[in-house]
Structure 1
Amino acid sequence: MTPRRRATLRDIAAALDLSVNTVSRALAGKDAVSAETRERVRAEADRLGYVPNTMARSLVLQNAMTIGLVITNPSNPFYARLISAIEERGRVHGYSLMLMVTEDSADNERRVAEELMRWGVDGVLAVPVQHGIDHWERLGKSGTPVLLLNRDLPGLDADLVGVDYYDSARRATEHLVDGGARELYLVEEDLDISPVNERIRGFHAVLAERGIAVRDDHVLRVPTRRREASSQPWDPIDSYAVGRRLADRIEPGSAVLAGNDYFALGLYRAFTEHGLSIPGDVAVAGHGDHPFAAYLAPPLTTVRLPAARVGTTAVDRLLERMAGAPPADAPARTLLEADLVVRSSTAGPSAARTGGTS
């Protein structure tokens, strides 16, 4: 079956014995065309199934009305919420979204940056792999503003909008210490990225301030499965093995902060299989407030990340750059505060004081 050819302005003009220019002006609602002609043109356009060619229009106007969004993995619940917020905010301003995925591969990221340059998008929001800045610099020099999302990229002259992970880890760690824990552990993924590094920094800062000895084995790095199964950013099995080893030596009254709720899920199983009670023997907190967190037994204390606010703030800032807002002396860094959601997995003095449940 031969595909039907897409209707054009020329087809409408031929059917009505009008000029292409008249048809174009009629569809655009120009006053120079009579109401009767506009009605005839619109009716014929509907009959032929005419759809405006947005790409051709963008070539003429030098405006694609498209924002490029580069993320590492769409199956991460945080990025799923982020995508929705960005798409909705962009649509309000008339922009479509072009989504590109790098799977945390530097090679993929360079290819994606080149593709975005060829497509001529109006601006780019990027969660960077954090290996190399040349391709982002080329995109910026081509006239396409680039804004970083959730991860910093030192050396790149670009705005950043993300979560204040240093503060979120500090608040979660303080909550665990206030609950009576004197032996604390942080379970983090093994990627060298700014959110992980900032959470480690916040965790260490609280221990040092509270006079708790900081040892190398207080931070346990989980070898994630990203390299083997890129469609799943985390898997509880990644932290389950770490949790089993930790359960053999952890002292009663200790606490563990997980870098994401999936890691906390693996720790739950490891600890309970070992006969440890949560929170009786060990308190557990996470990051992300994923939908399952409130339904674990016991419900998980976790950090609720402001994904939607990150998305809308980033779009608004990018639109300012696209409209020609001059760069400041230094790129703007906007880090949004997360919310600590206290549930019974960390039941203790601090939970009683805040009364926080969700």
Structure 2
Amino acid sequence: MTPRRRATLRDIAAALDLSVNTVSRALAGKDAVSAETRERVRAEADRLGYVPNTMARSLVLQNAMTIGLVITNPSNPFYTRLISAIEERGRVHGYSLMLMVTEDSVDNERRVVEELMRWGVDGVLAVPVQDGAEHWDRLRKSGVPVVLLNRDLPGLDTDLVGVDYRDSARRATGLLVDGGARDLYLLEEDLDISPVAERIRGFRAVLDERGIAVGADRIIRVPTRRREASSQPWDPVDSYAIGRELAGRVGPGSAVLAGNDYFALGLYRAFTEHGLRIPRDVAVAGHGDHPFAAYLGPPLTTVRLPAARVGATGVDRLLERMAGEGAPETTLFPAELIVRESATGTEAG
């Protein structure tokens, strides 16, 4: 079957014996066209299945009305919420969203930046791989504003909107220490990215302040699967294997803070199989407040990340830069500590 040709303004004009200019003004709701003519034009447009050519309009107006969004992996629940917030906020201002995924590969990121330049997007929101800023700087110097989300690039003179991960780790670690923990572990990703570095700093800061030794073996880096497959940012099997080894070392007065709730999920199974009780024998806390966190046994104490707030603010900041307003600034939002039974033995939030 031959594909049906896309209906144009000329098709509508020919069917109604009107000029293309009149049809265009009628569809745009211009006052110079009578209500009767506008109604006839709209009815014929519906009959023909006419859809405005946004790309052609962009060429005329030199404005794509499109925001590029570059993220590392859409299956991360944080980024799922981030995407929704950005799309919603952009739509309010008449902007469409072009989503690009890098899988934490700098080669993919460079290719994505080139594609965004070719498409002529109006601005870009990006979660960078954090392996070089030259391609981002080239995009910015071409006249396309860039606002970074969740991860910093110190070599790039642009805005950053994200989460205060140092504070989130401080608060979670402080809760564990206040509950009596003195033998603490931190499970983190093996990626060299700013959220991980900031959580490690927050964890260390609390223990230093409380006079608790932090040995090198207390900060454990968990292999990430994102370099191998795009289907899942983390896999509980990695932390499960680590948890089985930890189970022989931990006991009353021990606690583990996980950099994400998937790591905590693996720990739960390993500790339970070893006969350890959470939190009586070992307290556990996570990061992310993923949907399953409240339904674990016991419910998981975790940190709820302000993904929607980061996304909406990122769009607002980008629109300001697209309008030539303001100077680059950094905005880090606090996370919310959700206290449940895994860290205290009582439900508190």
TM-score (norm. length: structure 2):
0.97
- For residues 39 and 308 of structure 1, the distance between their equivalents in structure 2, rounded to whole angstroms, comes to 40
Residue 228 of structure 1 and its aligned partner are, at CA, apart by 2.1
**Identity fraction in percent:** 85
- For residues 178 and 26 of structure 1, the distance between their equivalents in structure 2, rounded to whole angstroms, comes to 68
- For residues 166 and 6 of structure 1, the distance between their equivalents in structure 2, rounded to whole angstroms, comes to 53
Where does residue 344 of structure 2 map in the other structure? 347
Where does residue 241 of structure 1 map in the other structure? 241
Residue 72 of structure 1 and its aligned partner are, at CA, apart by 0.4
Where does residue 335 of structure 1 map in the other structure? 332
Question: 2:162 aligned with 1:165, yes or no?
Answer: no
What are the within-5 Å matches in structure 2 for residues 200-215 of structure 1? 200-215=200-215
**Other structure's SS at 1:186 match:** strand
- Greater mean deviation of Cα atoms: 303-312 or 7-16: 7-16
- For residues 200 and 340 of structure 1, the distance between their equivalents in structure 2, rounded to whole angstroms, comes to 17
Q: Which amino acid aligns with 1:234?
A: W
Where does residue 320 of structure 1 map in the other structure? 320
Where does residue 5 of structure 2 map in the other structure? 5
Residue 63 of structure 1 and its aligned partner are, at CA, apart by 0.9
- For residues 112 and 88 of structure 1, the distance between their equivalents in structure 2, rounded to whole angstroms, comes to 23
Residue 49 of structure 1 and its aligned partner are, at CA, apart by 1.4
- For residues 185 and 212 of structure 2, the distance between their equivalents in structure 1, rounded to whole angstroms, comes to 12
- Greater mean deviation of Cα atoms: 246-255 or 173-182: 246-255
What are the within-5 Å matches in structure 2 for residues 258-273 of structure 1? 258-273=258-273
Q: Which amino acid aligns with 2:204?
A: H
Residue 198 of structure 1 and its aligned partner are, at CA, apart by 0.2
**Other structure's SS at 1:288 match:** coil
What are the within-5 Å matches in structure 2 for residues 183-262 of structure 1? 183-262=183-262
What are the within-5 Å matches in structure 2 for residues 1-358 of structure 1? 1-327=1-327, 331-347=328-344, 356-357=348-349
TM-score (norm. length: structure 1):
0.95
Q: Which amino acid aligns with 2:133?
A: I
Cα offsets for 1:259-306 (capped at 9, x unmatched): 000000101111111121111110000000001001111110000111
- For residues 44 and 265 of structure 2, the distance between their equivalents in structure 1, rounded to whole angstroms, comes to 59
- Greater mean deviation of Cα atoms: 196-205 or 20-29: 20-29
- For residues 277 and 18 of structure 2, the distance between their equivalents in structure 1, rounded to whole angstroms, comes to 80
- For residues 33 and 287 of structure 1, the distance between their equivalents in structure 2, rounded to whole angstroms, comes to 58
**Other structure's SS at 1:22 match:** helix
**Other structure's SS at 2:287 match:** strand
Cα offsets for 1:207-230 (capped at 9, x unmatched): 000001121111001012122222
- For residues 129 and 216 of structure 2, the distance between their equivalents in structure 1, rounded to whole angstroms, comes to 26
**Other structure's SS at 1:60 match:** helix
Residue 31 of structure 1 and its aligned partner are, at CA, apart by 2.0
Q: Which amino acid aligns with 2:235?
A: D
In structure 1, the gaps of 5 or more residues are none
- For residues 28 and 273 of structure 2, the distance between their equivalents in structure 1, rounded to whole angstroms, comes to 68
- For residues 48 and 223 of structure 1, the distance between their equivalents in structure 2, rounded to whole angstroms, comes to 55
- For residues 45 and 347 of structure 1, the distance between their equivalents in structure 2, rounded to whole angstroms, comes to 63
**Other structure's SS at 1:287 match:** coil
Q: Which amino acid aligns with 1:343?
A: R
Q: Which amino acid aligns with 2:329?
A: A
Q: Which amino acid aligns with 1:211?
A: G
Residue 19 of structure 1 and its aligned partner are, at CA, apart by 1.8
Q: Which amino acid aligns with 1:334?
A: T
- For residues 6 and 212 of structure 1, the distance between their equivalents in structure 2, rounded to whole angstroms, comes to 69
Aligned residues: 349
Cα offsets for 1:85-105 (capped at 9, x unmatched): 111111111111111111111
- For residues 287 and 143 of structure 2, the distance between their equivalents in structure 1, rounded to whole angstroms, comes to 37
Residue 132 of structure 1 and its aligned partner are, at CA, apart by 1.0
- For residues 186 and 8 of structure 1, the distance between their equivalents in structure 2, rounded to whole angstroms, comes to 60
Residue 39 of structure 1 and its aligned partner are, at CA, apart by 2.4
- For residues 109 and 126 of structure 1, the distance between their equivalents in structure 2, rounded to whole angstroms, comes to 10
Cα offsets for 1:148-202 (capped at 9, x unmatched): 0101111111101111000000000000000001111100010000000000000
Change over 3 Å in CA distance of 1:42–1:230 after alignment to 2: closer
- For residues 229 and 32 of structure 2, the distance between their equivalents in structure 1, rounded to whole angstroms, comes to 59
